Amino acid sequence: MLSLIKLPQVFTINQVPKVFHEDGIISGYRHPCSSAKDCVLSLFQLTNETLNIWTHFLPTCCAHTFSTMSERARHICFFFDYGALSFYSLGSAITYSSYSFPDKWVNSTFHKYYVPIAVVNSIISTALACYSRLGLPLFQYNHHSIKSCSGKLDQKLSKCLQIIAFVYPYLFDNIPLFYRIFVCAGEGCTVNEANTVHYQHTSLAVLTGFLFATHLPERLAPGSFDYIGHSHQLFHVFAIIGTYFQMTAMELDMAARKQWLHAHLPPVTLSDTVGAAFFSVVCGLCIVYGLSLALFSTRGVKDKFI
């Protein structure tokens, strides 16, 4: 059936605007002004985004699927993607607060303010990551290639802002976990079978961050990993495996510490659970909405062929 459908054309790096460029990826780019139909059809076509999309199939990775409808669409899609990642970091913090704090830190001042600070971090993370995409103007076309003007934000600066936006909340969220598995010794350190799985999760988190920041292996051999094996695909795969280990560790902590936590944790409140999550989502959506309006208010830019 698919053989009867004309699949969209793919392009090389020299034929698409700079904002679509990925380090070390030479070919396999989708049209930067694709229709929604073309985006869906590209799910069944080998491009440099195909495995990125399918490795996130269950959580519906719309950012990768529809990011080539226009440059504005690309920014907005990733605004939502960044917001979701920031919300995930808050979810991790809420879960750690409930199940993984070392015994000696439970009910401490840090524990009391841990979730509220994580909420602020999630909002800052969303704002900073989304802002890193601003200042990149829309593009102009001719019949054979698609050219982009220079952006206001340097590409390296943009990448650095994105890395900071996600590394900082991760490091903060994991302070109690790092202390528990790497520093704490003696009584009150919460040693159980979950610790080994926390080690595995932490190792995979470091690996995913390394892949995201370095663009390896494609940077070492540009063009060799355009379709299969580039860093963003590996980033997705190891992030998913890491999340599995994280959830497994949480379940082990829940089972092993159930009675102790019931006896020592303060009562669960709306403000530290659903309330915190809801506030973070509302703020994230406001940020996405505001920055999306900024994109559409930019003068002298177009999303369609000239």
- What is the identity of the amino acid at 278? F
- Against a cut of 0.75, is the pTM above it? yes
Burial status of residue 142 (CB atoms within 10 A of its CB: 0-12, 13-18, 19 or more): exposed
From CA 19, how far away is CA 158, in angstroms rounded?
11
Which regions in the chain score pLDDT beneath 70?
A: 1-4, 57-60, 135-154, 298-306
From CA 256, how far away is CA 272, in angstroms rounded?
23
From CA 32, how far away is CA 10, in angstroms rounded?
10
Contact between residue 114 and residue 97 where contact means Cβ atoms under 8 Å apart:
yes
Contacts of 259 (CB under 8 A, 6+ apart): none
From CA 168, how far away is CA 139, in angstroms rounded?
33
Count the neighbouring beta carbons within 10 Å of the beta carbon of residue 72.
16
Determine the pLDDT at residue 5: 74
Residue ranges of E strands in the chain = 10-11, 29-30, 139-141, 146-148
- Answer whether the bond into residue 266 is a cis peptide, omega within 30°: no
From CA 207, how far away is CA 147, in angstroms rounded?
34
- What is the identity of the amino acid at 210? F
From CA 9, how far away is CA 31, in angstroms rounded?
7
3-class SS letters over 217-230: CCCCCCCCCCCCCC
Specify the 3-state DSSP secondary structure of 68: coil
From CA 207, how far away is CA 75, in angstroms rounded?
26
Contact between residue 65 and residue 43 where contact means Cβ atoms under 8 Å apart:
yes
Q: Give me the torsion for CA of 240, 244, 246, 251, rounded to 10°.
A: 160
Determine the pLDDT at residue 234: 95
Residues β-bridged to residue 158: none
Give the right CATH number for 77-135+153-297 from 2.102.10, 2.60.40, 1.20.140, 1.20.120: 1.20.120
Q: Of 140, 162, 159, 160, give the one whose Cα is nearest residue 149.
A: 140
Count the neighbouring beta carbons within 10 Å of the beta carbon of residue 247.
13
